A = this chain, B = another copy of it.
Amino acid sequence: MSPRCGRAENTLIEGAGMHPLDIPTPAALIDETRLMRNIARMQQRMDALGVRLRPHVKTTKCIEVARRQRDAGASGITVSTLKEAEQFFAAGFSDVLYAVCIPPAKLDRALALRRQGCALTILVDSIASASAVVAKGKAEGHPFDVMIEVDSDGHRSGVRAEDPSLIDIGSVLHDGGAALKGVMTHAGSSYDLDTPEALRRLAEQERRECVRAAERLRAAGKSCPEVSVGSTPTALSATNLDGVTEVRAGVYAVFDLVMANVGVCTPRDVALSVLTTVIGHQAEKGWTSVDAGWMAMSRDRGTARLAVDQGYGVVCDLTGDPIPDLIMIDANQEHGILAGRPGAQSSAPKLPVGAMVRIFPNHACATGAQHDRYYVVDHGRTVASGCTRALSGFKYEYKTLHTTEKESTSPHDQRREP
């Protein structure tokens, strides 16, 4: 082995006085440079379009990520559970939209948050839910702030802008003493698109339908100050947001392989990856086994129905550069199988037992949720070399790592066994 290889190994293995691989695998990594670039990109776009940005924190569920979004100019947060609302409120985020229609049994918990000073807005899309909200508000002498969910693309929940019940729901809330804060929609079908033109059309449809719902409510004498739209693909595709007051998006902060398929990022924008260690081989089959299975990656196979099926994820070296045509073709609970992409021309590199690689996930929201902390890696040709706790976060602790320059990024240099 040449001295140069020896140095590369030493840099990788012993750099900065710490073992750079001294992270128990599997582990979720966040590339801070990419994260900050993604956050800035969306914020600049929203600033240019003249709307507020209310990030959805369900993607990383991480206080430190949300702080970076706030520091960049975001206004308030969106959550998908009351637990998220509670945790982020405890960390100083008081302007919170709970963007899932609330069932009656959750109103006590929502009320408790509001009585502690959290400006929590809740969501309904039916007369039944609106009635329960106003009944609770009256019983407790505490009117809720409420938005009505609008169905702008037929993909999930909400009431259609032209549906007569939209006005009925508004009346129940308004007459019942609730504060009708506005309307919101999420064009989730954007995840199924993959051309800029189709995305622009859906973004315009999302805007148009939600603004139309607000106009109908206003025409019926209801106050409806807010018009909230969004998904990462539509937010990054909209060219006109007239009538919209805020945009919600979540996955943009770290992106993933589904978003790369949709076309709103490239794999080199993906800031979340899973660090994993090679544990074995089936040489005849060209399989390399790693210690990240679906517990680490999630069971999400979101790229299966898209233009480029990435299996359970794209394999990268430790700097986050994809290894050509190497993907995780299958996963068990704590085993992943790496192999060449079906039909690939290039042969996969031989990764020895003990070598580490990173895997970009199909769906960051699903993969992030499988981990109880993130390790933060630095940009460019540097790599994590240990960790110290920075600030406690939510379910996920955000850890800042010492970084060290390295000369070689080849996993071949990571051989550790004799």
A contacts, CB < 8 Å to B = 21-22, 24-25, 58, 80-81, 100-106, 109, 125-126, 128-129, 131-132, 135, 151, 156-157, 188, 277-282, 289, 291, 294-295, 298-301, 332-335, 337, 352-354, 363, 365-366, 369-370, 416-418
Residues of B within 8 A of A132 (CB): 353-354, 416-418
The answer to whether B282 and A151 touch across the interface, beta carbons within 8 angstroms, is yes
**Minimum Cβ distance to chain B for residue A194 (Å):** 19
Residues of B within 8 A of A332 (CB): 156, 188
**Minimum Cβ distance to chain B for residue A86 (Å):** 11
The answer to whether B156 and A100 touch across the interface, beta carbons within 8 angstroms, is no
Interface SS of A by simple majority: loop
Contacts A/B (CB < 8 Å), 16 sampled = A21-B105, A25-B103, A25-B105, A100-B335, A103-B353, A104-B353, A104-B416, A105-B416, A125-B280, A129-B417, A131-B417, A135-B418, A156-B337, A298-B298, A299-B300, A333-B365
Residues of B within 8 A of A125 (CB): 280
The answer to whether A156 and B335 touch across the interface, beta carbons within 8 angstroms, is yes
Cα–Cα distance between A295 and B80 once the two chains are bound (Å):
10
Residues of B within 8 A of A131 (CB): 417-418
The answer to whether A280 and B126 touch across the interface, beta carbons within 8 angstroms, is yes
The answer to whether B280 and A157 touch across the interface, beta carbons within 8 angstroms, is yes
Q: Do A289 and B354 form a contact, CB below 8 Å, given A126-B281, A156-B335?
A: no
Q: How many copies does the complex hold?
A: 2
Q: Taking CB as reference atom, which chain B residue is nearest A128?
A: B353
**8 nearest A-B residue pairs (beta carbon):** A299-B299, A128-B353, A80-B334, A132-B417, A103-B277, A299-B300, A101-B279, A104-B354
The answer to whether A103 and B279 touch across the interface, beta carbons within 8 angstroms, is yes
**Minimum Cβ distance to chain B for residue A285 (Å):** 8
**Minimum Cβ distance to chain B for residue A120 (Å):** 16
Cα–Cα distance between A128 and B415 once the two chains are bound (Å):
10
Q: Which of A58, A104, A135 has the most CB of B within 10 A?
A: A104
Cα–Cα distance between A144 and B291 once the two chains are bound (Å):
20
Residues of B within 8 A of A151 (CB): 282
The answer to whether A129 and B353 touch across the interface, beta carbons within 8 angstroms, is yes
Cα–Cα distance between A416 and B104 once the two chains are bound (Å):
8
The answer to whether A278 and B103 touch across the interface, beta carbons within 8 angstroms, is yes
Q: Taking CB as reference atom, which chain B residue is nearest A395?
A: B372
Residues of B within 8 A of A299 (CB): 298-301, 363, 366
Residues of B within 8 A of A188 (CB): 332
The answer to whether B280 and A101 touch across the interface, beta carbons within 8 angstroms, is yes
**Which one, B80, B109, B282, B353, contacts A333 given CB within 8 A?**
B80
Q: Which of A131, A157, A280, A334 has the most CB of B within 10 A?
A: A280
**Minimum Cβ distance to chain B for residue A136 (Å):** 10
**Minimum Cβ distance to chain B for residue A192 (Å):** 12
Q: Taking CB as reference atom, which chain B residue is nearest A353?
A: B128
Cα–Cα distance between A320 and B369 once the two chains are bound (Å):
28
Q: Which of A24, A282, A366 has the most CB of B within 10 A?
A: A282
Residues of B within 8 A of A280 (CB): 101, 125-126, 129, 157
Cα–Cα distance between A294 and B299 once the two chains are bound (Å):
10
